[in-house]
Chains A and B, each alone.
Chain A
Amino acid sequence: GAVVSQHPSRVICKSGTSVKIECRSLDFQATTMFWYRQFPKKSLMLMATSNEGSKATYEQGVEKDKFLINHASLTLSTLTVTSAHPEDSSFYICSASASGNPGANVLTFGAGSRLTVL
């Protein structure tokens, strides 16, 4: 089945630095990728929707200059948390959907990235 690989799984960084998280679809082309943030014991909060080759669409309240999303190819999307602060510490998860897939509503999730900002 469809597989989405997300790296790194855990990252610890100092306040003020930037962190890049990658999300790759391994065996299918993902025209659309979604980035979520999940707080402990909470639901998935959609941050942005990225379509290959175009600018990401950010949800209300999500700072696009802080959370940079790039979807340069059909198999790779990246989320860069710029000038990270402790309040950015969270679990970030990506998901992807395949193009031209009859079951196109089915999402495949990455394993998530736990970011801790000191």
Chain B
Amino acid sequence: GENVEQHPSTLSVQEGDSAVIKCTYSDSASNYFPWYKQELGKRPQLIIDIRSNVGEKKDQRIAVTLNKTAKHFSLHITETQPEDSAVYFCAASKGSNYQLIWGAGTKLIIKP
């Protein structure tokens, strides 16, 4: 079955710098790749997603890139701010059953 690996597990960056989180997936049939942000004790919130028919998607300071050949996708956050501190999860799914296979999460720490 599908396996999603996420790196790094913890990422500490200076406020204003960029942060990049990477995920790899194993099943070439996966076609949907969302990123969720979870603040401590709160529900995961979708921040951006990408489908397999595009290679990049951007929304203000957040962007996601997808390399189908290499089977990896990355989250890019530019001009990081303190409120970006959270745990970020990548996920992958295929077909229409909506089941997501989750990465292990990355704790992003923004240093003032």
Interface residues of A (CB under 8 A from B): 32, 34, 41-44, 46, 49, 93, 97, 104-107, 109-112, 114
Contact = CB atoms under 8 A, between A and B. Distances in A.
Contacts of A105: 32, 34, 49, 93, 98
Interface of B: 32, 34, 41-46, 49, 87, 89, 93, 96-100, 102-105, 107
Nearest to B103: A43
B75 to A, nearest CB: 15
Contact of A97 (B49, B87, B98, B102): B98
Contacts of B100: 46, 107
A32 B44 contact: no
7 contacts: A41-B87, A44-B89, A93-B44, A105-B34, A105-B98, A109-B43, A112-B42
Contacts of A104: 96, 98
Contact of A43 (B34, B41, B49, B105): B105
A43 B104 CA distance: 5
Nearest to A108: B46
Nearest to A51: B97
